[in-house]
Chains A and B, each alone.
Chain A
Amino acid sequence: MNKLRTGAFHTCMILLSLLWLGPVLWVVVMSTRSFDDIAAHGVGSLPRSFTLDTYRQAWTDGGELRALINSMVVTVPSVVLSLGLAAMAAFALSRFRIPGRRTILLLMLAGNLLPPQILLIPVAKFSELTGLYDSLWALIAVQVGFGLGFYTFVLHGFMRDLPGEIQEAATIDGAGTAQIFTKVMLPLTRPALAALGALSFTWIFNDLLWAITVLRTDDNMPVTPALLALQGQFVSSWNVIAAGTVIAAVPTVAVFLRFQRHFVSGLALGAVK
């Protein structure tokens, strides 16, 4: 009886896993098929050809290389800046008696929970006003500003639970606030920083809405909006679009695999306290 149940469980789960992984594998396989093969047999057919030229087309003709560089230029500074600023705020709010600290923290969190639609028009106009419109600077600024609240909230929860003795000992040894922050608190907060780092990288890298709000020129687009443009450029070349899709997905998959444990704990950080 138990054997039967185990068998049924695995059968169901393998089918479900296939449903989840199948579409992904299908696209990977499709990216290696020739145009003629897909044209003749349709995207729903099994492959009868193999080529990697599709990747070259997406990479150079499709401008994916440029888009990936843009993505990195936006994502890496945005992650570092927003986590740095969030750590500063979380440290001050969690370890010192700042007047009104709870209100400040909740206000910062609320800012991240706002539907971004209410911000799009003012942010687009403000970036025009400051001359940042259609530059990667605008995108970095808005990603940092919008993400800060949530990261501060999570880091605050983490720092609050650290024991106070270490900080006291450092204070008695004559360490200043800045030293306690960099030498004591940041190293202790490393697990939370790693988790949020993996998460924020994925979010910022994957963003579409902010990018198409503050950027206009194709050459400035990061990889996510560029992938939509690629679809228009290679309308019926499904194999090239698939190759572009794979290229756009690889960085976040790599970050996820590298920081797997942190990634999942990061998602759970906010949920279970």
Chain B
Amino acid sequence: MTATISTTSVTPIRRRRRSARLSPLLVAFVLVPFAVESVWVFWPALQGFWFSLTRWDGMSPPAFVGTDNYVELAGDATFRGALVNTVIWLVLFGGLSVLGGFGMALVLQKERRGVGFYRAALFTPVVFSLVVTALVWRVFYQPDGVADTILRAVGLESLIRPWLADPQTALYAVILPALWRQIGYVMVLFLAGLKAIDPALHEAARMDGANSWQRLRHVTIPQLKGVNAVVLSVIVIDSLRSFDIVWSLTRGGPYHSSELLSTYMYSTAFQSLRLGYASAIAVVIFVLALAVILGYLVRAFREEA
């Protein structure tokens, strides 16, 4: 995406001279969509930042309290747990879906017999909602469900536990279905990127005697730069947005053991009705997303220079 932005320039079509007035219709073409987005996105976002500086129960008007909410967050153990879980989620869910998706794309990039079916199989869960995904996996985790049946069959009864109800395993039991759905999605992004690489480059590298590992390192990965930026942004944003799957499986429990910032924000806002405090959590999510993506962009630019 970043690569596309830098080249965003209007094709030099010989059109009416620059001094030509824009027709009111054209102005409306831009203004109407922009106004819709302003009302439902830009303006609410600004309000969200403002609300984070208030104490508000949704009934009486918001009362300005400065940075009180942020101070309270710093000492809030549940918030700290949710922050740690969100980082674990980002690393495990993000990292493994990139590795898995990239690996699958490499393995399945050559057109050969059966590849179409394998791609379709891995991609199938992408069209399900996360609530559907959650219910599919709930069957798997049930006491005496599929997981326990399999463990029993191979004689590992000792490992059996209430996967979603055990604070030790709940978070990881939720990550697994999320990965199951995400890997096919990341694979498709990488497949598109791999297709766009000029085969002549690989030919040349092969002529120079590069083995397949060297070709991967020095041809494929550098050529995927644009795709990597997109995938990374998508993954970071998806990770920090992750809500549906946790909400459907555990609601952040037991004892906040699978709580993410997004679920903590939601329950603080719409169950505890602490709207100011919840807005402060939302601002933290926003800052995290911005920091990770900007950090990556800065690094990418440095490498370019």
User: Which residues on A are within 8 Å of B, measured CB to CB?
Assistant: 9-10, 13, 16-17, 20-21, 23-24, 26-27, 30, 42-45, 85-86, 88-89, 91-98, 101-102, 104-109, 111-126, 141-142, 144-146, 148-149, 152-153, 156-157, 160-161, 164, 167-168, 171, 176-178, 181, 202, 205-209, 212-213, 224-225, 227-228, 231, 238, 241-242, 245, 248-249, 252-253, 255-256, 263-265, 267-268, 270-273
Contact = CB atoms under 8 A, between A and B. Distances in A.
A212 B244 CA distance: 11
B79 interface: no
Given A98-B26, A224-B132, A245-B132, 6 more contacts: A89-B33, A95-B10, A117-B261, A118-B282, A118-B286, A148-B37
A209 B244 contact: yes
B233 interface: yes
Chain B: number of interface residues, binned into ranges: 35 or more
A249 B127 CA distance: 8
Interface of B: 1, 3-5, 8, 10-11, 13-15, 18, 22-23, 25-26, 29-30, 32-34, 36-37, 39-45, 47-49, 51, 58, 107-108, 114, 117-118, 121-125, 127-132, 135-137, 139-140, 142, 144-150, 180, 184-185, 188-189, 191-193, 195-196, 226-227, 230-231, 233, 237, 240-241, 243-244, 247-248, 261-262, 265-266, 269-270, 275, 278-279, 281-283, 285-286, 289
Given A248-B129, A252-B129, A117 B146 contact: no
A145 B131 contact: no
Given A85-B32, A167-B13, A268-B188, A120 B135 contact: no
A102 B8 CA distance: 7
A17 B283 CA distance: 40
Contacts of B269: 120-121
Contacts of B283: 118
Contact of B285 (A45, A118, A141, A212): A118
B139 A224 contact: no
Interface SS, A side: helix
Given A20-B184, A44-B142, A88 B33 contact: yes
Contacts of A202: 127
28 contacts: A17-B117, A20-B125, A43-B139, A44-B149, A45-B149, A89-B30, A92-B30, A102-B5, A105-B8, A108-B33, A109-B1, A113-B237, A115-B240, A115-B241, A115-B262, A122-B43, A148-B36, A160-B11, A164-B15, A168-B14, A206-B130, A213-B270, A224-B129, A245-B135, A263-B127, A268-B189, A272-B193, A273-B3
B124 A121 contact: no
Given A145-B39, A149-B41, A205-B129, A104 B122 contact: no
Given A117-B262, A238-B139, A273-B3, A123 B26 contact: no
A241 B135 contact: yes
Given A145-B37, A177-B25, A267-B189, A20 B180 contact: yes
Contacts, number: 293
B266 A249 contact: no
Given A44-B148, A144-B36, A253-B127, A272 B132 contact: no
A13 to B, nearest CB: 5
Centre residue among B15, B32, B108, B196 by max chain A CB count within 10 A: B15
A25 to B, nearest CB: 10
A129 B241 CA distance: 26
Contact of A27 (B114, B136, B188, B193): B136
B37 A272 contact: no
A-B pairs, 7 with minimum CB distance: A145-B40, A268-B192, A44-B149, A206-B129, A122-B44, A164-B13, A17-B121
A271 B192 contact: yes
Given A16-B122, A117-B281, A145 B36 contact: yes
Contacts of A256: 127
A195 B238 CA distance: 21
Given A121-B282, A168-B13, A26 B139 contact: yes
